[in-house]
Structure 1
């Protein structure tokens, strides 16, 4: 389905919309094999979180993609080769001066700075509004606990198609469930399934020519589950446009 930009709802309807999103985020459940683990947290991006755009996951504008201000950069040991981009984590401050003793659910949208490896264990470089949820901003750096949780997303998985005829590139985002993508395959109406190559972050590529064919995508997450979306992009799809498929 080709996505069109829509105006925001107004007045009370908009407030209800925001409350619904916040409620769905707090209802994200911990994954069965993910207990609390020790880590550290700092913050970046400023109060307007403009500094969190761009980054190593390929999302560019996290607001335009629906991730908002509850995001985090994760240390290289968590980031790996980008296979944790889009994953959701619940984090809480533990025992430090300035802790607010509440938790927040954040989405991994970037790789943390290299200096974060100097801290023992994993490190979360939280967007400032997310840090504000768990600790006083003056604390600066706090010990935390974290765990993987299911991601609750509005709508289907999104496929932003870029590149050109001999090098199609697809950014995958808004993934529910585990939130990450460990594999992406594409099928044109006149082709077999093609396993796409992982470039970096959540950007995937193929050199097969699929112009003029309607497209199916099969997304596989790190838990081995897959979801297939057929005829996501019509035969006359265009580079630079985003298409919406099914959801986990």
Structure 2
């Protein structure tokens, strides 16, 4: 029996296994496999109170299912609000503050990190920079010390995992009707919506007002509502009879369907 040959084979196999384990980390660090370079900071405190509301139109992120796993996006990533609801995975990269073990976080875009054009060399959210302003708990998962301030990261878009069906909140007043769409799984961000009233029975395209708030029609007050939702990946869902005829502004309703 040639023990030297057997030892060489075992050693080679061990190296192969080690390299296979390192490939995902090295690929991420190099920006491969869909990963791209950016930077990250945090805003607010550990409770997430300052991350509520924001430029996407969401309200209480705990009640709406997003919790603390959220981020504000720089102007370039925010895309005038079309990116609201999209999900991202982030990995701290090339910093002495990076948490050991290559920890990543997955977050949903719920806000805008605004540009400050009076400080072009100091504001990380000015275009064309790609930047994530995370909730503090998410930032702390990536680093060993929150005093790191600004860290380099790699990021990629990932599917959103949400509990329950797509949800709709009726917004507005006697002069204007809006619909906030949230808790969207899959692509997460919505590129088109249509509504159908129970009385008129005709689909009407909706226009996006801001964030993920879409313009409705005040003639639909007193009607039950169905929605057609098209995500940014082109997938579409028809959700019938989501909202009952007696709906009121401020109420939210959950559909039985989800991406």
Q: When the two structures are superposed, what TM-score results if normalisation uses the length of structure 1? A: 0.83
Task: Pick from 121, 133, 142 the counterpart of residue 125 of structure 1.
Answer: 133
Does the 8 Å CA contact 2:114/2:126 hold for their aligned counterparts? Answer: no
Task: Pick from 207, 218, 221 the counterpart of residue 211 of structure 1.
Answer: 221
Does the 8 Å CA contact 2:76/2:128 hold for their aligned counterparts? Answer: no
Alignment of 1:102 onto 2:103: yes
Instruction: Label 1:116 to 1:52 Cα distance change in 2 as closer, same or farther (>3 A).
Output: same
Shift of 1:169: 0.5
**What is the match of residue 37 of structure 1?**
36
Shift of 1:120: 6.6
**What is the match of residue 25 of structure 1?**
none
Count the aligned residue pairs.
Answer: 216
Shift of 1:164: 2.7
CA deviation string 1:57-115 (max 9, x = no partner)? 01122112110111100001111121111111000000101101210100100011312
Shift of 1:119: 8.1
Which structure 2 residue ranges, 5 or more long, are not aligned? 1-32, 116-122
In 2, the alpha carbon distance for the partners of 1:120 and 1:97 equals 26
* 1:1-248 superposed matches below 5 A: 35-100=34-99, 101-114=102-115, 115-118=123-126, 121-136=129-144, 137-191=146-200, 192-245=202-255, 246-248=257-259
Between the two structures, name the one with larger relative contact order (CA 8 Å, sep ≥ 6): 1
Instruction: Label 1:180 to 1:120 Cα distance change in 2 as closer, same or farther (>3 A).
Output: closer
Instruction: Label 1:120 to 1:185 Cα distance change in 2 as closer, same or farther (>3 A).
Output: closer
Does the 8 Å CA contact 1:184/1:217 hold for their aligned counterparts? Answer: yes
Kindly report structure 1 stretches of 4+ aligned residues shifted beyond 3 Å. 117-121
CA deviation string 1:155-203 (max 9, x = no partner)? 0000000113442111110000000011111100122111111110011
Instruction: Label 1:79 to 1:202 Cα distance change in 2 as closer, same or farther (>3 A).
Output: same
In 1, the alpha carbon distance for the partners of 2:226 and 2:69 equals 31
In 2, the alpha carbon distance for the partners of 1:84 and 1:206 equals 21
Which structure 1 residue ranges, 5 or more long, are not aligned? 1-33
In 2, the alpha carbon distance for the partners of 1:151 and 1:107 equals 8
In 1, the alpha carbon distance for the partners of 2:252 and 2:224 equals 14
Instruction: Label 1:234 to 1:97 Cα distance change in 2 as closer, same or farther (>3 A).
Output: same
- Name the SS for the 1:80 alignment partner: helix
**What is the match of residue 17 of structure 1?**
none
Does the 8 Å CA contact 2:75/2:127 hold for their aligned counterparts? Answer: no
CA RMSD of aligned residues (A): 1.7
